[in-house]
Amino acid sequence: MAEYITRRVLQALLVLTVMTLLVFFGVNVIGNPVYIFASSECDQACLTAIIKDLGLDQPIWRQYLTFVGNMLQGDMGKSFTHGVPALHLIFERLPATLELAFAALVLALVIGLPMGVYAGLRPEGIGAKLIMSFSMVAFSLPVFWIGIIMILTFSVQLGWMPSVGRGDTVDLGFVETSLLTLDGLHHLAMPAFTLSLIMMAMVIRLARAGMREVMFTDYIKFARANGVTERRVLGVHALKNILIPIVTVLGMEFGGVIAFAVVIESIFSWPGVGKMLIDAIAVLDRPLIVAYLICVVFMFVTLNLLVDILYSLLDPRIRLGGGRA
Amino acid sequence: MSAVTTAPAAGSARDLTRRFLSNPGAVIALIVFVGFCIAGFGAPWIAPQNPYDLRQVDILDSLMPPGSESFTGMTYWLGTDGQGRDMLSAMLYGIRISLVVGLASGLLALAIGALVGLIAAYRRGWVDTVLMRIVDLQLSFPTILVALILLVILGRGVDKIIFALVVVQWAYFARTVRGVALVEGARDYVEAARGLRLGGMRILLGHILPNCLPTMLVVATMQMAMAISLEATLSFLGLGLPPTRPSLGLLIANGFDYLQSGRYWISVLPGLVLLAIIISVNLLGDRLRDVLNPRL
| pLDDT mean across residues, chain B | 81
Q: Rounded to whole angstroms, how far apart are CA atoms A257 and A245?
A: 18
pLDDT digits (tens, 9 = 90+) for B116-131: 998 888 888 888 888 8
Question: Which of the four pLDDT bands, split at 50, 70 and 90, describes residue B174?
Answer: very high
Q: Residues in chain A with pLDDT < 50?
A: 322-325
pLDDT digits (tens, 9 = 90+) for B149-171: 888 888 888 888 999 999 999 99
CB contact, 8 Å: B148 with chain A?
Answer: yes
Alpha-carbon dihedral sign for residues A134, A139, A140, A143: positive
Kindly list the residues from chain B whose CB atom is less than 8 angstroms away from the CB atom of residue A300. 141-142, 145
pLDDT digits (tens, 9 = 90+) for A13-49: 888 888 888 888 877 776 666 666 666 677 777 778 7
Alpha-carbon dihedral sign for residues A266, B231, B227, B90: positive
Kindly list the residues from chain A whose CB atom is less than 8 angstroms away from the CB atom of residue B140. 252, 304
The shortest CB-CB distance from A140 to any of B141, B229, B271 is to B229
Question: Which of the four pLDDT bands, split at 50, 70 and 90, describes residue B76?
Answer: low
Q: Rounded to whole angstroms, how far apart are CA atoms B177 and B54?
A: 47
- pLDDT in the model for residue A286: 79
Contact between B232 and A145 using a beta-carbon 8 Å cutoff: yes
Kindly list the residues from chain B whose CB atom is less than 8 angstroms away from the CB atom of residue A137. 279
Contact between B275 and A163 using a beta-carbon 8 Å cutoff: no
Tell whether the model's pLDDT for residue B107 goes beyond 60: yes
Are the C-beta atoms of residues B192 and B252 closer than 8 Å to each other?
no
pLDDT digits (tens, 9 = 90+) for B189-214: 888 888 888 887 888 888 888 888 88
Q: Please name the residues between 3 and 22 in chain B that touch chain A, using a CB distance below 8 Å.
A: none
pLDDT digits (tens, 9 = 90+) for A85-139: 888 888 888 888 888 999 999 999 999 999 998 888 888 888 888 998 888 888 8
Contact between A281 and B152 using a beta-carbon 8 Å cutoff: yes
- pLDDT in the model for residue B108: 94
- pLDDT in the model for residue A323: 44
Which chain A residue has its CA at the smallest distance from B224's CA?
A140
Task: Supply the pTM of this predicted model.
Answer: 0.82
Contact between A149 and B271 using a beta-carbon 8 Å cutoff: yes
Alpha helices in chain A (DSSP H): 2-27, 34-37, 44-54, 60-72, 86-121, 126-140, 143-150, 182-214, 218-225, 230-232, 239-268, 273-282, 286-314, 316-320
- Residue B65's nearest CA partner among B226, B232, B261 is B261
Contact between A142 and B153 using a beta-carbon 8 Å cutoff: no
Range B45-51 average pLDDT: 75
Maximal C-alpha separation, chain A: 88
* Ranges A172-176, B30-34, B182-186, most confident: B30-34
Contact between A27 and B152 using a beta-carbon 8 Å cutoff: yes
Question: Which of the four pLDDT bands, split at 50, 70 and 90, describes residue B2?
Answer: very low
